[in-house]
Each structure stands twice: as C-alpha cells, then as structure tokens.
Amino acid sequence: MFHWESQSATREDSRDGRRYVHHAEQGSTVHLFIRATDAGAPPYLYAGPMTYRGHEGERPMRILWDLAHPLPADVFHYAKVNTG
C-alpha cells in the first residue's frame, strides 16, 4: 500500500477527487513515480501502477493505493525514513 495526500483543496465530489476514486471503472491507470532527493540519484523512480483502495477526509483527500508491485527494499526504506 502507498499513502498519498491530494492537493489541499481536493474534495471527493470534485473533478479530481472523482477521477482518483473511479479511475479503474473509467478505464485509466494511475502510475507511481517517486522522487529521491539524494545527490546523484535519478530524478524519479518509476514504481509501477497502483489502484485506488480507499480514502479518508477531504481538502486534502488522504488516499490509500494498492501497489501492483512491492517497492524495492532501498526505496521502501528511503520512503519510510522520510515520511516517519
């Protein structure tokens, strides 16, 4: 799973909120790119497709995504350290 927060004004009934929640039934795929800030690291790492699992709140929406593939161990550690 991957936890992500939308932009601060996004509500479930907004155009973007509906797009996140209903992406699969609308025929679109969401892909995760992770930005590493370490010097010398590639600007983004492609982590693969993900599917909406659920969310809490609005403004911002706190969305849980199911990842199609597990994150590599070093990327998982980096993400966990930087988010707490």
Q: Give the helix/strand (H/E) hosting 32.
A: strand 30-34
Single pTM value for the model: 0.79
Better-predicted residue by pLDDT, 48 or 40: 48
* pLDDT of amino acid 75: 73
Q: Which residues 6+ apart lie within 8 Å of 4 measured at CB?
A: 62, 63, 65
Q: Where do we find the tokens 């973007």? A: 16
What's the pLDDT tens digit per position in 17-44?
A: 999 999 999 999 999 988 766 666 667 8
